[in-house]
Structure 1
Amino acid sequence: MRFGIFIPQGWRFDLVDIDPAAHWSTMRSLAVRADAGPWESLWVYDHFHTTPVPSDEATHEAWTLMSAFAASTSRIRLGQMCTCMGYRNPAYLAKVAATVDHVSAGRVEMGIGGGWYEHEWRAYGYGFPEVPDRLRALREGVEILSQAWRTGSATLDGAYFQADGAIVRPLPIQEGGIPIWIAGAGEKVTLRIAAEYASYTNFNGGVEGFRHKSEVLRGHTDRLGRDFAEITRSANFNTVVGETEADVRERLRAIEARVAPYTGDATAGLMEKLTTGEGLVGTVEQVTERLAAMREVGLGYAIHYFPESAYDLSGVELFEQRVIPALSA
């Protein structure tokens, strides 16, 4: 199993109580630490407003961070899970990502999806198209990205995006272009796009859900004549790990106490991502067992968000020292 780590950027109220002037130094130090550790990749989210409620707390922009991390690290791969296709013209996005690939000496991953956070869509003037339209736009955008990185130019007269000989030079350093991760588990459209274009998918759903979505993906690759094994399946995990169950409970209490002054009535919604089955929360043994079960149904890459990491690295250290070695062999 391969491992990635999210760097806190404010989106989940994970930089509160840190002076905004110190946010970049905090993020950079965590990125440099990950670069020196066992992680294959670091990740950020592509969002503009905090969740589960919009607020005045800072949320730092994903592609600006990609460029900054590219210049601040030397080994670790750099991704976003995931870039929202509706937020940037895809020909422009192809150019941005190719430039960052050069800054990073060929370490960029492109996580891409249709987007979902209605409040920020409307606030930034993008409207909020219906799901079918967002997914059709995703398909067109991925075609433009793929063309641009393979050939150095892109042409498409689409319903949502148009490009007419858009020149994207230099090409990315990575041969064949930047790896594309298609995020989402929609069975008819999203996984069909993934089957055609993706090097990686990103979906979860627990053991049975992951197994089912994998079989749907396999059906699409079979119909396209593509080798299913070419696609690495990944999932994201909201992760809190402790030595004992009492330690885990204390960590959850500390997270809730830190965010509650900022999230108010929405605190329960934020904590639900950690206190229900959606969260990867437990002792070292429990977390390792759950990930091992996911590996058995085809999970090849696990990307972890640690809500404590800007304040307390002890949980990350436990994961690095005991969970990763147990699952990397």
Structure 2
Amino acid sequence: MTAMTTRPVRIAVQLQPQDADYAQIRDAVVRAEDMGVDVIFNWDHFFTLRGDPDGKHFECWTMLAAWAEQTSRIELGALVTCNGYRNPDLLADMVRTVDHISGGRVLLGIGSGWFERDYTEYGYTFGTAGSRLDDLAASLPRIRSRFEQLNPAPTRHVPVLIGGGGERKTLRIVAEHADIWHWFAGADELVHKLTVLQRHCDAVGRSIEEIEIGAGVGGLGRAGLPPGPPEVDGEPLRALGASLFTINAVGPAYDLSHVEPWLRWRDQVNGP
């Protein structure tokens, strides 16, 4: 595997948009920006992923538009948008609009989708993991093409973050299209995934160093694991090239105290 260029460390928080009133989510956004977080993510689902299956939940991109208006510094996006829920040209227009609302701070986090209830209850075709990945690969060029046709155009090259670690299709799509790749992986697994990504980058004629590596590192994750200890252990991942570290926060309280040690570590690593 080619050695990765060291990028400045960035800390992101994923505010899971369930189990809370919107006022509580809005307050968490304010607190995250004020404490110095670099990026805030939500997620793109229609139902809760844990706990009460019919509990409180809010939609992704309308929320991001509100976050874009209420914040001034922080980057924002979905971790991740489900490609199958929106026509790709419409999604491009939505992203461009939030880009302008935010003054050029939106990220397009996107993946192929996986949560079957979202599809079946909202009338989308679930298909197979392979067909959803094929759809994602077909959508990304359409999104970029639509960006070029919109008036006004996006304020910048909107960074595309692709989530997922499938080695045959997903990492090939990452090599072709992503500015950022996000995965939930320990250092040992990340070594292997980056080796596979390197092969795909070589095949498409792209330098892996063009892709920022993101890692989920704490909080309450999709598997329902409890929050980990506040100690920071980012160095093994950083040594492999990871620079965007994402911590989960859950409602209704959105306790962000476990994010503070990561911010202190970021500042020590990046220096003045």
**1:39 is the counterpart of 2:43:** no
Shift of 1:237: 3.0
Other-structure match for 1:148: 146
- Asked if structure 1 preserves the Cα contact closer than 8 Å seen for 2:162 and 2:181, the reply is yes
Other-structure match for 2:184: 204
**Could you list the runs of 5+ residues in structure 1 that have no partner in the other structure?**
16-22, 153-167, 241-269
**1:8 is the counterpart of 2:6:** no
**1:274 is the counterpart of 2:190:** no
- Distance in 2 of aligned mates of 1:272 and 1:93: 28
1:52–1:313: structure 2 CA closer, same or farther, 3 Å change rule?
closer
Other-structure match for 2:239: 296
- Distance in 2 of aligned mates of 1:293 and 1:308: 30
- Asked if structure 1 preserves the Cα contact closer than 8 Å seen for 2:185 and 2:216, the reply is no
- Asked if structure 2 preserves the Cα contact closer than 8 Å seen for 1:74 and 1:104, the reply is yes
Other-structure match for 1:216: 196
Other-structure match for 2:4: none
Residues 236-258 of structure 1: CA deviation (Å, up to 9, x unaligned): 23327xxxxxxxxxxxxxxxxxx
Shift of 1:231: 0.4
SS in 2 for 1:136: helix
Other-structure match for 1:325: 267
**Could you list the runs of 5+ residues in structure 2 that have no partner in the other structure?**
1-8
Shift of 1:33: 2.1
1:328–1:5: structure 2 CA closer, same or farther, 3 Å change rule?
farther
- Distance in 1 of aligned mates of 2:72 and 2:111: 27
Equivalent residue runs for 1:19-98 within 5 Å:
23-52=21-50, 55-98=53-96
- Distance in 1 of aligned mates of 2:222 and 2:142: 38
Residues 192-212 of structure 1: CA deviation (Å, up to 9, x unaligned): 111111101111221111111
Residues 5-59 of structure 1: CA deviation (Å, up to 9, x unaligned): 112311xx4x2xxxxxxx2222122212222232111100101111136622111
Other-structure match for 1:172: 154
Shift of 1:326: 4.0
- Distance in 2 of aligned mates of 1:188 and 1:312: 38
Shift of 1:309: 7.4
- Asked if structure 2 preserves the Cα contact closer than 8 Å seen for 1:95 and 1:169, the reply is no
Shift of 1:316: 3.5
- Asked if structure 2 preserves the Cα contact closer than 8 Å seen for 1:8 and 1:309, the reply is no
- Distance in 1 of aligned mates of 2:213 and 2:262: 21
Residue range with higher mean Cα deviation, 136-145 or 292-301? 292-301
Other-structure match for 1:126: 124
Q: Tell me which amino acid in the other structure corresponds to 1:40.
A: D
Q: Tell me which amino acid in the other structure corresponds to 1:171.
A: A
* Structure in which a larger fraction of residues adopt helix: 1
Shift of 1:118: 0.7
Q: What is the aligned length?
A: 263
1:136–1:238: structure 2 CA closer, same or farther, 3 Å change rule?
same
SS in 2 for 1:305: strand
- Distance in 2 of aligned mates of 1:199 and 1:283: 29
- Distance in 1 of aligned mates of 2:54 and 2:222: 20
Q: CA RMSD in A?
A: 2.1
Please report the TM-score for the alignment, with normalisation by the length of structure 2. Answer: 0.89
- Asked if structure 2 preserves the Cα contact closer than 8 Å seen for 1:238 and 1:307, the reply is no
Other-structure match for 1:188: 168
- Distance in 2 of aligned mates of 1:327 and 1:309: 32
- Distance in 2 of aligned mates of 1:271 and 1:49: 13
Residues 115-142 of structure 1: CA deviation (Å, up to 9, x unaligned): 0001121111113111111001001111
Residues 214-271 of structure 1: CA deviation (Å, up to 9, x unaligned): 111111111211111010010223327xxxxxxxxxxxxxxxxxxxxxxxxxxxxx89
Other-structure match for 2:206: 226
- Asked if structure 1 preserves the Cα contact closer than 8 Å seen for 2:64 and 2:76, the reply is yes
- Distance in 1 of aligned mates of 2:206 and 2:258: 40
Which has the higher relative contact order, 1 or 2, with Cα contacts under 8 A spaced 6 or more apart? 2
SS in 2 for 1:186: coil
- Asked if structure 2 preserves the Cα contact closer than 8 Å seen for 1:292 and 1:327, the reply is no
- Distance in 2 of aligned mates of 1:82 and 1:311: 19
Q: Tell me which amino acid in the other structure corresponds to 2:138.
A: E
- Distance in 2 of aligned mates of 1:62 and 1:325: 30
